Chain A
Amino acid sequence: MADFAMADLGYASLLLSLFLSIYAAGAAFFAARRKDSALFASARNAMFVIAALTTLAVGVLEWALITHQFRFEYVAEQTSRAQPLLYNVSALWGGQEGSLLFWAWLLGIFTTIVLIQNHDKNQELIAYVVIGQAIAQGFFLALMTLVTNPSASGFFILTPFTPDATNALVGNPFRLLDFVPRDGNGLNPLLQNPGMFIHPVTQYLGYVAFTIPFAFAMAALFARRLSDVWIRTTRRWTLVAWLFLSLGLLFGMQWAYTELGWGGYWGWDAVENASLMPWLTGTAFLHSVMIQERRGMLKVWNLVLVMLTFCLSILGTFITRSGVIQSVHAFGVSSLGPWFLAFLGVTTLAFLYLLFDRIDDLKEENELDSLLSRESSFLLNNLILVGAAFATLWGTIFPMVSEAFTGKKVTVGAPFFNQVNGPIFFALVVLVGICPLIGWRRATPENLLRNFLRPLVVSMVTAVALFVLGVREWYGLLSFSTVAFVLVTIGTEYSRDVIARMRQHAENPATALVRLILGNRRRYGGYIVHIGVILAVLGIAGSSFYQVETQSNLRPGDTMRLKQYTLQYDGLQDYPTENHRVVAARLTVLENGQPVGTLSPEKDYYDNPNPDAAQWTTEVAVRTTAREDLYVILAGFDSTVGTATIKAIINPLVVWLWIGFAILVVGTLIAALPDPREERAPARSRVREAAAQA
């Protein structure tokens, strides 16, 4: 009877959390209005209790998943006895109901951290932040505890107190079946990959973390505290959220590359786009706030950007969950879609209302001194990134819009996105190179040209050298020489500053470099991130423009050639593992005639009690070097005669995409390190003294 009891416990903790979140929102509102600390403390405690209760609910679900409680409908769908433990644990976020719970849990934890961080400051802002977090929390909890399947109850919301109500609730992770199945369905084999453990987690961490800056923005608007306090308080949260979105993108691409077996890492799939869009606006936001902090400009831009990032995060969650757009990620059509859209709509309207009402408090403190200045290049940066986000959004929702209006299903594929976003991203890369050369406030054109010259010369030399080496395509020459340009720009910034520091402090280069970076972590960490981005661009350019492939049907002993590689087919292997059957093709790889290794691309068969659910998956084999990836797929086989159809692809420079992202992560961590100056004591008396003497 443990399963009935635990299901009740899980559901009860969620329902209790829902009531608490409604209370917390109300209490925090009145606490802020009346400046009532007791009421605020009560609201704050409510948020802590919600965090504890959602943790309990997560504990219950994980217990059920790990101990194979198949009476839980969710457990029966997502796991099976033979499934490795790792995938039973990760099933928490594998299905719809579980991922709602995961979101609510993360939100509770983050709110707790924010409350602890701000226990002695920002009191009035924090009260409003609690309202925002409580409402978001309440939304996800309501989806799990109140929303019913219309076909079961006849209407959308059912009170939870009618008989068997909990099992008609669409979002309830604790729904029970009438019987106990002997075994579960198991996770979709496509998802049985280590990527399953890390990609959704980092993606969700990114989505949920962006609620914090947004909540602070809403609070700042509500409380009319529109100096940059809200930005400075959430600076690290923004960096951390952006870091997780970047990791989500990275692991998603990695997973697609190794799992889907088509040789690529990005297909402009609807759900891929859903994770890219908030990353684009988030990037714009974290750059644009620097302008507000330094010059008191772009205030409205920053508020709009953080709202866009939050809305696109919710939209991303919605697109992944609702199946409304055809996608490899589709989890099936869900009736929760309209609720997400409603939440999004209400939030956006509320935000825009507040923005227009408080517009007078958002006066710029400075104006643009010149069109040729770092401020204007940041403005251009905003425009480019938001432009790319909108182009991606349009391409993503167009099929839905078109079907709604014309009844015809159309698909918008990679060519549209590549044609529109390609030039936009190219402009962005050029901007990354030029911006550091431009001074704040005003750049003297002669000085700019002088600083421009060296990187320009290097990029021309690169182009000529590549041409001589055989690269003839204009897009290849353009991309690689632009990459060289940006690398030289960043390198020059670093070397010039290191040399200046070495002269001033008589340090050796290594010490000077380390002290330089630590002295201004934001700036130099940021430059490292840019280096990472450019290397990733290098990888993308190489693998997009210069991919080659071939396919052959081979008998044992046959060989196939692709450029300098020869693949010798030795035969098929067929063996069972823990929960699937493996058919592998053994290949010996020769480069220019010399043996360099072996590769074993596979086709795996996952059996299932439900015959319709049994399926074959493809496991590719990859040989990676700094120059290129040799990517081999077992496209088909005939075990009676031992033949295999092998597809081989060469992806140049792909490894630089992964290396670039790794460097991006390092740079972000450096930029997020605390600045020693921020911890200093107040200087009130000194300010007075200075003013008195002036």
Chain B
Amino acid sequence: MITIVIALMIVGAVAIVAYPLFNQSNQLDVTFAGTRDPVLEGLVSQRDVMYSAIKDLENDHAMGKLSDADYKSLRAKYEAKAVAILQELDNAVGSKPSARVTRDDDAVEREIARLRRAAATNGSTKCPQCGTPYAAGDVFCAKCGASLRGVRCPSCGTRAAVGDKFCAKCGRTL
């Protein structure tokens, strides 16, 4: 009696294991086609590493663990590296439309906002009131106290860059 049960068990096990080999059309949800390219993976990793590095620098500086001089020099160093990686990543992503790049949206948003501001003020980030250069992530100008963040759009609530005349999301006049 138990021999029959055991025999059925063996048959069942073999059937479950062999099924995918014969049922090629039903690929289940496993496919190697979407496997990420290790080079791309490495670049995404490095990009995230740079963003975390910059965020940590900001935090440490704000908490008083890092002096102004150290903060500025390290930050410049890592920002340069970050831009280089972003460009390399863009080349890689551009040629592989099926690849997915994820993670750390906030850092990306900040980077975009900063680059937009840099573009708007011809490549350097200066306080709109007194003209003193400020670091990305600063909310108030250290010299005159003016707000460095743009206003919120009254319609859709998106925060604009300082100096913007129209909301980038919904187009309303600011």
> Quick check: is A38 within 8 A (CB to CB) of the other chain?
yes
B contact residues around A365 at 8 Å (CB): 46, 49
> Quick check: is A46 within 8 A (CB to CB) of the other chain?
yes
The complex places the Cα of A53 from the Cα of B109 at a distance, in Å, of 50
Q: Is the CB of A37 within 8 A of B27?
A: yes
A contact residues around B70 at 8 Å (CB): 442, 444
Q: How far is the CB of A49 from chain B (nearest CB, A)?
A: 5
The complex places the Cα of A689 from the Cα of B35 at a distance, in Å, of 25
The complex places the Cα of A448 from the Cα of B35 at a distance, in Å, of 46
Q: Is the CB of A123 within 8 A of B21?
A: no
> Quick check: is A686 within 8 A (CB to CB) of the other chain?
yes
CB-CB under 8 A for A41 and B30, given A12-B6, A293-B52, A439-B60: yes
The complex places the Cα of A35 from the Cα of B31 at a distance, in Å, of 8
> Quick check: is A44 within 8 A (CB to CB) of the other chain?
yes
B contact residues around A566 at 8 Å (CB): none
8 Å CB interface, B17-71 against A: 17-21, 23-24, 27-32, 34-35, 38, 41-42, 44-49, 52-53, 56-57, 60, 62-67, 70
CB-CB nearest in chain A for B86: A691
> Quick check: is A120 within 8 A (CB to CB) of the other chain?
yes
A contact residues around B64 at 8 Å (CB): 447, 450-451
Q: Is the CB of A123 within 8 A of B31?
A: yes
Q: How far is the CB of B137 from chain A (nearest CB, A)?
A: 13
The complex places the Cα of A269 from the Cα of B27 at a distance, in Å, of 53
Q: Is the CB of B66 within 8 A of A444?
A: yes
The complex places the Cα of A689 from the Cα of B109 at a distance, in Å, of 11
CB-CB under 8 A for A225 and B38, given A683-B108, A684-B101: yes
Q: Which of A38, A450, A677, A686 contacts B20 (CB 8 A)?
A: A38
Q: Is the CB of A687 within 8 A of B90?
A: yes
B contact residues around A686 at 8 Å (CB): 108-109, 112
Q: Which of A42, A437, A687, A689 contacts B18 (CB 8 A)?
A: A42
Number of interface residues of A (CB under 8 A): 72
B contact residues around A438 at 8 Å (CB): 65
The complex places the Cα of A484 from the Cα of B16 at a distance, in Å, of 60
A contact residues around B89 at 8 Å (CB): 687, 691
CB-CB under 8 A for A694 and B115, given A225-B38, A440-B53, A688-B93: yes
The complex places the Cα of A180 from the Cα of B143 at a distance, in Å, of 91
Q: How far is the CB of B73 from chain A (nearest CB, A)?
A: 9
Q: How far is the CB of A336 from chain B (nearest CB, A)?
A: 26
> Quick check: is A500 within 8 A (CB to CB) of the other chain?
yes
Q: Is the CB of B66 within 8 A of A439?
A: yes
CB-CB under 8 A for A39 and B6, given A294-B52, A690-B86: no
A contact residues around B20 at 8 Å (CB): 38-39, 41-42, 45
Q: Is the CB of A5 within 8 A of B66?
A: no
CB-CB nearest in chain A for B13: A49
Contact with B along A442-465 (1 / 0, CB 8 A): 111011101100000000000000
The complex places the Cα of A9 from the Cα of B9 at a distance, in Å, of 9
Contact with A along B94-121 (1 / 0, CB 8 A): 1000011111111011011001100100
B contact residues around A23 at 8 Å (CB): 17
The complex places the Cα of A447 from the Cα of B119 at a distance, in Å, of 35
Q: Is the CB of B60 within 8 A of A440?
A: yes
Q: Is the CB of A688 within 8 A of B94?
A: yes
A contact residues around B52 at 8 Å (CB): 293-294
CB-CB under 8 A for A9 and B2, given A35-B32, A688-B93, A691-B89: yes
The complex places the Cα of A300 from the Cα of B53 at a distance, in Å, of 21
Q: How far is the CB of B170 from chain A (nearest CB, A)?
A: 18
A contact residues around B57 at 8 Å (CB): 440-441
> Quick check: is A296 within 8 A (CB to CB) of the other chain?
yes
CB-CB under 8 A for A690 and B115, given A439-B65, A683-B105: yes
The complex places the Cα of A124 from the Cα of B32 at a distance, in Å, of 7
B contact residues around A296 at 8 Å (CB): 45-46, 49
A contact residues around B62 at 8 Å (CB): 500
Which residue, B21, B49, B67, has most C-beta atoms of chain A within 10 A? B49
B contact residues around A689 at 8 Å (CB): 112
Q: Which of A6, A40, A295, A369 contacts B74 (CB 8 A)?
A: A369
Q: How far is the CB of B88 from chain A (nearest CB, A)?
A: 9
Q: Is the CB of A441 within 8 A of B74?
A: yes
Q: Is the CB of A123 within 8 A of B30?
A: yes
The complex places the Cα of A437 from the Cα of B116 at a distance, in Å, of 35
> Quick check: is A682 within 8 A (CB to CB) of the other chain?
yes
Q: How far is the CB of B36 from chain A (nearest CB, A)?
A: 8
The complex places the Cα of A23 from the Cα of B32 at a distance, in Å, of 20
CB-CB nearest in chain A for B43: A227
A contact residues around B83 at 8 Å (CB): 691, 694
The complex places the Cα of A49 from the Cα of B19 at a distance, in Å, of 13
B contact residues around A4 at 8 Å (CB): 2
The complex places the Cα of A446 from the Cα of B116 at a distance, in Å, of 36
Q: How far is the CB of B86 from chain A (nearest CB, A)?
A: 5
The complex places the Cα of A128 from the Cα of B93 at a distance, in Å, of 26
8 Å CB interface, A290-316 against B: 293-296
B contact residues around A192 at 8 Å (CB): none
Q: Which of B10, B102, B116 contacts A16 (CB 8 A)?
A: B10
Q: How far is the CB of A490 from chain B (nearest CB, A)?
A: 14
A contact residues around B102 at 8 Å (CB): 680-683
Q: How far is the CB of B50 from chain A (nearest CB, A)?
A: 9
CB-CB under 8 A for A229 and B17, given A37-B32, A683-B108: no
> Quick check: is A77 within 8 A (CB to CB) of the other chain?
no
> Quick check: is A329 within 8 A (CB to CB) of the other chain?
no
CB-CB nearest in chain A for B91: A691
Q: Is the CB of B31 within 8 A of A37?
A: yes
> Quick check: is A20 within 8 A (CB to CB) of the other chain?
yes
The complex places the Cα of A439 from the Cα of B42 at a distance, in Å, of 26
> Quick check: is A119 within 8 A (CB to CB) of the other chain?
yes
Q: Is the CB of A41 within 8 A of B65?
A: no
8 Å CB interface, A36-88 against B: 36-42, 44-46, 48-49, 53
Q: How far is the CB of B11 from chain A (nearest CB, A)?
A: 11
> Quick check: is A678 within 8 A (CB to CB) of the other chain?
yes
The complex places the Cα of A295 from the Cα of B50 at a distance, in Å, of 8
Q: Is the CB of A694 within 8 A of B86?
A: yes
The complex places the Cα of A120 from the Cα of B10 at a distance, in Å, of 29
Q: Is the CB of B38 within 8 A of A294?
A: no
Q: Is the CB of B19 within 8 A of A45?
A: yes
Q: Is the CB of A691 within 8 A of B13?
A: no
Q: Is the CB of A693 within 8 A of B41?
A: no
CB-CB under 8 A for A691 and B90, given A225-B38, A227-B41: yes
Q: Is the CB of A227 within 8 A of B90?
A: no
Q: Is the CB of B108 within 8 A of A46?
A: no
CB-CB under 8 A for A49 and B17, given A41-B30, A296-B45, A694-B86: yes
> Quick check: is A623 within 8 A (CB to CB) of the other chain?
no
CB-CB under 8 A for A442 and B74, given A23-B17, A38-B24: yes
The complex places the Cα of A53 from the Cα of B5 at a distance, in Å, of 13
Q: Is the CB of B105 within 8 A of A677?
A: yes
CB-CB nearest in chain B for A52: B13
Q: How far is the CB of B58 from chain A (nearest CB, A)?
A: 11
Q: How far is the CB of A91 from chain B (nearest CB, A)?
A: 24
8 Å CB interface, A1-17 against B: 4-6, 8-9, 12-13, 16
Q: How far is the CB of A522 from chain B (nearest CB, A)?
A: 12
> Quick check: is A549 within 8 A (CB to CB) of the other chain?
no
> Quick check: is A228 within 8 A (CB to CB) of the other chain?
yes
Q: With contacts A9-B6, A690-B86 known, what are 9 further pairs, Cβ within 8 A? A: A39-B21, A40-B30, A41-B30, A444-B65, A444-B70, A500-B62, A684-B99, A688-B93, A694-B86
A sample of 22 cross-chain residue pairs with beta-carbon separation below 8 angstroms, ordered by A number, consists of A5-B1, A9-B2, A38-B27, A39-B20, A40-B32, A42-B18, A45-B19, A48-B16, A123-B32, A227-B41, A294-B52, A439-B65, A440-B56, A443-B65, A677-B104, A682-B102, A683-B105, A687-B86, A687-B108, A688-B93, A690-B112, A691-B90
* Nearest 4 interchain pairs by C-beta: A41-B20, A439-B65, A5-B2, A439-B60
